[in-house]
Amino acid sequence: MRAGVASHDYDLFVIGAGSGGVRAARMAAQYGARVAVAEESRVGGTCVIRGCIPKKLLVYAAHFRDEFADARAFGWAVPEASLDWPTLIANKDREIDRLNGIYKRLLADAGATLIEARAVLADAHTVEVAAKRITAETILVAVGAWPERTSEPGAEYGITSNEAFHLPVLPRRVVVAGGGYIAVEFASIFNGLGSRVVQLYRGEQILRGFDDDVRNTVAGELRKQGIDLRVGTIIARTEKIGEAYRLTLSDGSVLDTDLVMYAIGRRPNTAGIGLERAGVRLDAVGAVVVDGFSRSSAPNIYAIGDCTNRVNLTPVAIKEGAAFADTVFGDRPWAMDHDDVPSAVFSQPPAAVVGLSEAEARRRGGAVDIYKSTFRPLKHTLTGRDETTMMKLVVDRATQRVVGAHMVGADAPEIIQGVAIAVKMGATKAQFDRTVGIHPSAAEEFVLMRKPEPDPVAEAAQ
């Protein structure tokens, strides 16, 4: 372990006890560092408390409506089902409380001191927290990100994902504003639980940054599920009408709803914690500017996770935290590799991707081969449900390396996690082809696709 400065209260002070901050604190403490962690909310951060985990629990709940309906095609006599929203929320809260306790215990067992209060930097080595001034040789900023809000008239009536987990009742009508993965997931959740959902997005297609075939397939599936998806449209004004809301949209139309949820993006949660005073440079959106080892412009201050606005995913923050602890306190320097990070959208059906989209691969200048398959899942040959699975490989033509894999369909996140290992290892299309598929499964299609799509120029000529 790097030697600390005796005059400092701690060797490491971590601001933020989300997944990344907790991982870094635990590892540093296990290396022998004197560690304190400050958290102004609940230990666990966005993912555990108000993000990935509670959201996935609601995603599971939303699937049951279709499962009950589909069961009849397989011979099951299923009585009419109904949702008890308070029971769902109470059970979800109980699990979040359990995880919050586990995260606290992990810190305590590692020997780290937890301070449940807001921390503000006074200078590069001093933190003001719980009416005390505490010094540390090294400071790690892991404060995450926070939902953005809009400013049109009446926007204050809307909620964000933070509040969506604590609604007293399930709204009958919901408008979701936004087109990113959070907006898509909550549109699917509310729709699956029985709300009538309208989703509005200012762009021409949802899920900006994903492969176009993923974007188009998910949009089509959302509409099949009954979501009224409107692109090129935003909220211009919101009025409260009794217990409901009347929205005037940018196209002049009027829409009544019981809930407006904004999921228009997230911003690094760095405001008001003294970073500039400590010599830490922020970019235009407030993200901490860091190098490959997560070091900021102040030599003893590091930052990880969403507050750096690199790849804003919980597993990335955890690996960044591990890399920081190994490098600074474990004498095992390494940098987080942000290439080929897999990700998922838990829509209905879900999407998952790893590596380059087709557009990204083409922008890099080399020729690519595109392999694509769309089909009805075997399950729905009996249910008759109109659902499409889409699978796609992006292959560098010169090397035949698979540089991207994309899927929309049941179990896509579980399937792409395995495919991501092959992509990260640099597997070639021939190696995919030599792999025996598991039959019958959707996943086998990734090793069965043989005929590339026509090049865009050739396709246009035809």
pLDDT tens track for 197-213: 999 999 999 999 999 99
Q: Are residues 408 and 445 in the same domain?
A: yes
In this predicted structure, the answer to whether residue 458 has a pLDDT above a threshold of 70 is no
User: Is 127 a domain residue?
Assistant: yes
* CATH number of the domain within which 387 lies: 3.30.390.30
Residue 250: which residues within 8 A CB-CB, separation 6 or more? Answer: 202, 233, 234, 235, 236
Q: How far apart are CA 380 and CA 443, in angstroms?
A: 16
**pLDDT of the residue at 5:** 56
Tokens representing residue 362 in the block: 């083409």
Q: Are residues 377 and 322 in the same domain?
A: no
In this predicted structure, the answer to whether residue 403 has a pLDDT above a threshold of 60 is yes
Q: Is 184 helix (H, G, I), strand (E, B) or coil?
A: helix
Residue 284: which residues within 8 A CB-CB, separation 6 or more? Answer: none
Residue 1 pLDDT grade (very low, low, confident, very high; cuts 50, 70, 90):
low
Residue 423 pLDDT grade (very low, low, confident, very high; cuts 50, 70, 90):
very high
User: Is 189 a domain residue?
Assistant: yes
Give the structural domain span for 427. 349-461
User: Is 298 a domain residue?
Assistant: yes
* CATH number of the domain within which 216 lies: 3.50.50.60
User: Is 117 a domain residue?
Assistant: yes
**pLDDT of the residue at 425:** 98
Domain finish residue from 264, 294, 320: 264
User: Is 338 a domain residue?
Assistant: no
Q: Are residues 17 and 133 in the same domain?
A: yes
User: Is 4 a domain residue?
Assistant: no
User: Is 2 a domain residue?
Assistant: no
Q: Are residues 88 and 205 in the same domain?
A: no
Q: Are residues 181 and 298 in the same domain?
A: no
**pLDDT of the residue at 462:** 52
Residue 241: which residues within 8 A CB-CB, separation 6 or more? Answer: 256
pLDDT digits (tens, 9 = 90+) for 78-110: 999 999 999 999 999 999 999 999 999 999 999
In this predicted structure, the answer to whether residue 3 has a pLDDT above a threshold of 90 is no
CA-based nearest residue to 432, from 375, 441, 421? 421
Token pair 């920081």 in the structure block, residue = 324
Query: What is the percentage of the chain residues whose pLDDT exceeds 70?
Result: 97
Q: Are residues 371 and 224 in the same domain?
A: no
Provide mean pLDDT across the span 167-194.
98
DSSP bridge partners of 288: 282
Q: How far apart are CA 107 and CA 201, in angstroms?
A: 41
User: Is 342 a domain residue?
Assistant: no
More confident residue, 365 or 292: 292
Q: Are residues 22 and 126 in the same domain?
A: yes
Q: Are residues 28 and 47 in the same domain?
A: yes
**pLDDT of the residue at 456:** 87
Q: Are residues 279 and 375 in the same domain?
A: no
Q: Are residues 235 and 377 in the same domain?
A: no
Tokens representing residue 409 in the block: 């369909």
Domain finish residue from 264, 288, 308: 264
Burial class (CB in 10 A: 0-12, 13-18, 19+), 432: buried
Contacts 24+ apart (CB under 8 A), 64-73: 64/192, 65/192, 65/193, 65/194, 66/192, 66/348, 66/385, 69/383, 70/379, 70/380, 70/383, 70/385, 73/382, 73/383, 73/384
Say if CB 399 and CB 405 are below 8 A apart: no
Say if CB 269 and CB 145 are below 8 A apart: yes
Please count the structural domains in the chain.
Answer: 3
User: Half-sphere exposure (CA, 13 Å, Cβ side) for 63?
Assistant: 13
In this predicted structure, the answer to whether residue 4 has a pLDDT above a threshold of 70 is no
**Eight-class DSSP state of 278:** G
Question: Can 439 be counted among the known catalytic residues?
Answer: yes
Residue 453: which residues within 8 A CB-CB, separation 6 or more? Answer: 369, 370, 371, 372, 459
pLDDT digits (tens, 9 = 90+) for 228-282: 999 999 999 999 999 999 999 999 999 999 999 999 999 999 999 999 999 999 9
Q: Which of 125, 380, 406, 439 is catalytic?
A: 439
pLDDT digits (tens, 9 = 90+) for 25-63: 999 999 999 999 999 999 999 999 999 999 999 999 999
Q: Are residues 271 and 142 in the same domain?
A: yes
Mean pLDDT of the chain: 96
Q: Are residues 123 and 161 in the same domain?
A: no
The torsion angles phi and psi of 123, rounded to 5 degrees, stand at: -155, -170
Q: Beta 228-231 vs 196-201: how paired, if at all?
A: parallel
Domain finish residue from 264, 292, 315: 264
